[in-house]
Structure 1
Amino acid sequence: MKAFFEVLEQLYKKVLFGATLESDSHNYIIYLNPAFSDQDCSTTASSECSDTLGVQGKCQPSSLSVATISVAPVCLKRCPEMSSARETVLLQLTVIKVMVTRILSVETEFHAKEKYREIIKILLKSSDVDSKLTCMFQNSDKLLCHMAAKCLALLLYFQLREKITLNNSWISFCQKNLSEYSESDKVVYCLWTLTAVIKEIFKDTCSQKTEILKQFLTPFHTLFEVFYNSLFSQHFENHKDTSKIINSLICFLELLELLIASRIHLKLHFTCQRILFLKPSCVLDVITWPVPAFVKRKFIIFIKKCLLQKVGEDLCRGSVLAFVLPDRRLDVDLLALADAVLQAVDLGLLTTLSVHGKPSCFGGGAVQPGRERVPGPDHVVLRAASLLIIKSLEIKFQNCASANQMKVDLQRFMSELLTFLKPHLQPSLQSHSHCEWLSRVFIEQDDDMLEAAKASLGIYLKLTRECEATESLTQEKEMWNHHTHENGYNPHCIFLFLLKNIGFDSTVLLDFLISSETCFLEYFVRYLKLLQKDWDNFFTICKYFDVTESKDSINICGCIFSLVQDKSSNQTGPSPLAALGSHRNAHAWVSWASDAASEPVNQVVISEETHVTPQANSLSPTRASQSLVDYDSSDDSEVESTDQSLSSGEQTSLYQEAMKKIQDTVGTSRNKKELSLELQSRPLVPKESNTPFSVDCDIAPNNIVSEVGISYRTVKCFEELQGAIYRLQKKNLFPYNPTALLKLLKHIDAIYNKNMNRL
């Protein structure tokens, strides 16, 4: 047996490095055919070689020539005298898995790949390896079961790629376990294997993905619905061993996500891909079960991804069509899911969520000795629940024509959401600034924040259009504005809070526009179009922000003055800095207070340490495919205007080139100064006053507030963004055509100048 193991070990080394095998393919089968007993592997293999393979003559393992390769020793755990049968089987499965991986890899040399392909085909045809691997699922050794499942999944995908008929024994095994729910571990490994095969289909670069997946799902698609009903009809509290049903839930949830993703990205239509949308209450009910918090978190995140059509996003990235055509049937299913979510919220879904769970820590959840865990809510659940409601409302309103019904639903569900959020937001939301909930909840997750902002803007635009068609908003303007603020969906407030969180930094907006990780381009364009038509309302809200900040500055300066007194008199007691923590922009105002005496107003930089810098290291074709057209062509093209397709390859190359040189263009301090001087040489807004604020914290005169207030800082941010985009465009570094975007920004500048000239 020792000699058998050593030869197998050398075979593993050669396959690992993609070396070509010299001996006859049949000779390798004896080393790859898994042995299940603890008897000597050589005896088992020899008998199987002569009885099963039908090779003429006696099989002699020692005669197989496998050249020794001088590589680092493989870390294999074995006894001094001989390896156990378990270790031998594990090594056999590893060699099979690596060999199939080498066949699927484009980096493997052609002749080596053909030899591996021939060996695997002989193994599948002659040794019934599929049945042997499924038998391993009944083994109590978890590592052996896991390796068997991984190996089987690759072998199944290999058969699909090579158009080899799948083994009937494996199909029967899956059909038997899926026909009714069972707590046995065989169900979990069956689900895991199905999931692994579909993942391989997604990851492959071949053009026949849809046909391969159709062939694979055909024997099972009716059974998935049966298993779905059986699994979610369980009474969790009645199970003695709850770990098994939890494992089944998690495994089936992953499989369900891939089925929905295949419907969206591979355009395959099976009933099993719609079971969530046909019976969404089954999945939503799991959130109300007495299951652990992490299970509820997985389910609510899964539903959120379904509503956002982001299921399977990680697998599909870089491997799907750049432009996904609209699917009317999918829209109907999403509406059914959104209705089910809102109905569940009506029945008290939010009260069942565990928000006070242990916060996640980098490297694990354990707290080091001597340190206390900082209490706090589970922000992942808060974000997911918030996005569930706001996105469900948007989807429902897209299919609703009654303005009164939309107002009633919006008020009811937003009130429910804000009531749910308020205890977990510190400091608490003020009654006059409910719109701040969005930036406060999503400050740590920019992609979800922009999805929520876009959904909120969509609700506002839809409701505005319906109200304008049935009633006069000018007569009820005050009541209408009150409704938008009370329910936290005023688009101007939401956008201004976003700008405040990033310190009115145009480079952050530029990162958002260049990055493919968020929907900022679509949101920003739609908001700019709204801003052109609703400038007066925007300016009124800006003045309210200015008054609020002036009041906050008085309180901040009072705290600073008190701090100086305490420091000079060496008084003991609570530090006044504790009071600063209750203000969102405390650090910004402290910086202002210390520098205002020596610097003019136009040199004071108000920044936020908490702003989120978007990741821009990956290009998702579904996001990157958005290009810009003439946004002024129609008022009804708010959504369609950013859905025009660009070539995915061209977009990717432009994006990568831009990211390589972006820092040299606008990222360094030297070029930022140059850009600032360039923009100041051709100002699009009135020149700032050089009069500094008084350090005694008196409220600034009205003319200064109007020039350096929120509206000015917003337009100044747009002006800097416009300059940065222009510079990148001149050097062909911007990843898409920004002409229409520059046109919108320039129009905002013109509106601002026109209104300032009236004052």
Structure 2
Amino acid sequence: MMKISLLQQMYKDVLAGIPLAKESHHYSSLLTLSVEQPAGGDESCHQRHLPPPAAGTGSHQDTDMVVPAADDLSKSFASMSSSFCPREVMLLQLTLIKMMVAKAESQQIESSTRLKYCEIFVLLLKEAKTDSKLVSLLGPHDRLLSHLASQSLAALVYFQLKEENALNVTWLSFTLNALLGFPGNTPVADCLWTLTAVIKETLRDAVLPKAGVLKKLLAPLDAVLEGFYNAILFHQFDSHHYTSPYSEATTNLISFIDLLEALLASRTELELPLRCQRVLFLKVSYILNLISSSIPYVIKKKFILLLKKCVLHKSREDARSGSVSLQALPLCEDVLALSNAVLQVVSLTWLNQIPLDEKSSYFGSSEPAPGDDPQGGSDQTVLRALSLVVLKALEFKIHNSTAEAEIKGGLETAAFGIENFSCLEHVLILEIAEPDWEHQALLQLEKKRL
């Protein structure tokens, strides 16, 4: 009872930005996790609620929320039961750790308060071994506890990277073991989510030297990430594991797609991208095969939208550099490899194997808005993304071809593959000599949609 009362007071002080008056060891002892306690607790314990975390705590899955006023917060604490199980104590500890890391990175907090938080983090990592305890909480046994542990672990790994220019050894060992041991008993989805969160947090930081931090973070994982890419998309892939969109295998794959997206965004920060930042381009055939397989539609859609980001990536990189950079050569090679692979499958029956008649999703409801087609129809988001991928692949192929025969061959191949695909029918039946062929192609495509 005493510990939860002290944690509640600490929560209110951190939320309000009030300096912590006692010595750092006092607060680190309050935040020390007791992982030897049962993680699940009893049924009544699972039904209790924690006060909401502060806005801007760095969560990548929570939406913006209104921070409660001090009086409302006090009433929230007062209404909670006087008896707390170990799980509730742990949930509050994890929430506090995540909040304090966000506060320590905020310039709106006084420097003395931020320094106090940093001292507490050092004690948690060096003396309390909090990173090891957070790793032990990851897994499917308690999804809420695991999710908060992932957030806290990502926050601490990012803190050490930024403040100490050091990579957390415990987290690195856990990540290597999870990726190398796939498919095993290690919670690989939590591993992937934590790495993705650290990459995104690094990219968001406006003052951090991103290139050095990303290289320190990704270099030890470079070869292992490529091996995991091969395993989850090719060697160990079995469509029978993906019969449900809620299965563990589906969760792992979706988490990996999110990581691939973060790696794609991060390659702009390095002059010479690492192999794990290029593997999506160089081995895109694995993804193309999965898109036409029997995996759940949600995975197909995420992969197609990821391909769209790949074909649009070149223009963003060129816009940032303003001129030809050292990254132009590997980028040109990567986009050309992706374009060749896309055009190769398009020349077959790949497009016709992709379902586009899934029921549409609506914000806040499963019913269409007034005036919308109640039958749903084709998924326009996927339809347009596929169109853009094919057009951009063909554009890049033509712009990087020197022989007229090769250009005509590319057009004929693509046209043959899409002749029965209503979205792109007749789009590519254009004269190669047309100086503005891309614009004309897009106009033709838009007419088809109307």
Which of 249, 258, 261 in structure 2 is aligned with 1:257? 261
Structure-2 change in CA distance of 1:404 and 1:97 (3 Å): same
TM-score w.r.t. length of structure 2:
0.82
Whole-Å separation in 1 of the counterparts to 2:262 and 2:393: 22
- Is 1:342 the counterpart of 2:343? The answer is yes
Shift of 1:77: 10
Q: How does 1:438-477 map to 2 (within 5 A)?
A: 463-464=432-433
Aligned to 2:71: 71
Q: How does 1:77-476 map to 2 (within 5 A)?
A: 80-138=81-139, 140-163=141-164, 165-182=166-183, 184=185, 186-233=187-234, 234-239=236-241, 243-309=247-313, 323=322, 325-326=324-325, 327-366=328-367, 373-421=374-422, 434=426, 463-464=432-433
Structure-2 change in CA distance of 1:135 and 1:404 (3 Å): same
Structure-2 change in CA distance of 1:241 and 1:92 (3 Å): farther
Shift of 1:79: 6.2
Q: Deviations over 1:253-293 (max 9, x none)?
A: 11112222211244352111111222221121110221111
| Structure 1 gaps, min length 5 | 40-68, 436-455, 467-483, 502-582, 585-759
Aligned to 1:10: 9
Greater length-normalized contact order (CA 8 Å, ≥ 6 residues apart): 2
SS of the aligned residue for 1:416 comes to helix
Q: Deviations over 1:499-541 (max 9, x none)?
A: xx9xxxxxxxxxxxxxxxxxxxxxxxxxxxxxxxxxxxxxxxx
Whole-Å separation in 1 of the counterparts to 2:352 and 2:421: 8
Instruction: Report which stretch shifted further, 294-303 or 74-83.
Output: 74-83
SS of the aligned residue for 2:22 comes to coil
- Is 1:24 the counterpart of 2:23? The answer is yes
Shift of 1:235: 3.7
Task: Confirm or deny: 8 A CA contact 2:179 2:188 kept in the other structure.
Answer: yes
SS of the aligned residue for 2:138 comes to helix
Whole-Å separation in 2 of the counterparts to 1:328 and 1:372: 46
Q: Deviations over 1:102-158 (max 9, x none)?
A: 011121111211111111112111111110000001361100000000000000000
Aligned to 1:719: none
Whole-Å separation in 2 of the counterparts to 1:391 and 1:346: 15
Task: Confirm or deny: 8 A CA contact 1:393 1:410 kept in the other structure.
Answer: yes
Whole-Å separation in 1 of the counterparts to 2:331 and 2:314: 13
Whole-Å separation in 2 of the counterparts to 1:286 and 1:85: 43
Shift of 1:401: 1.9
Whole-Å separation in 2 of the counterparts to 1:170 and 1:404: 53
Whole-Å separation in 2 of the counterparts to 1:173 and 1:305: 30
Structure-2 change in CA distance of 1:37 and 1:241 (3 Å): farther
What is the aligned length? 411
SS of the aligned residue for 2:363 comes to coil
Whole-Å separation in 2 of the counterparts to 1:168 and 1:292: 36
CA-based RMSD of the aligned residues comes to 3.3
Amino acid at match of 2:219: T
Amino acid at match of 1:345: V
Amino acid at match of 1:205: A
Shift of 1:174: 1.1
Structure-2 change in CA distance of 1:494 and 1:150 (3 Å): closer
Shift of 1:241: 7.1
Shift of 1:410: 1.2
TM-score w.r.t. length of structure 1:
0.50
Whole-Å separation in 1 of the counterparts to 2:126 and 2:243: 40
SS of the aligned residue for 1:20 comes to coil
Structure-2 change in CA distance of 1:78 and 1:145 (3 Å): farther
Shift of 1:497: 9.5
Shift of 1:496: 9.6
Q: Deviations over 1:672-730 (max 9, x none)?
A: xxxxxxxxxxxxxxxxxxxxxxxxxxxxxxxxxxxxxxxxxxxxxxxxxxxxxxxxxxx
Identity, % of aligned pairs?
36
| Structure 2 gaps, min length 5 | 39-68
Structure-2 change in CA distance of 1:402 and 1:165 (3 Å): closer
Whole-Å separation in 2 of the counterparts to 1:492 and 1:237: 40
Whole-Å separation in 2 of the counterparts to 1:396 and 1:404: 12
Instruction: Report which stretch shifted further, 352-361 or 227-236.
Output: 227-236
Whole-Å separation in 2 of the counterparts to 1:357 and 1:256: 25
Structure-2 change in CA distance of 1:130 and 1:344 (3 Å): same
Shift of 1:491: 4.9
Amino acid at match of 1:397: I
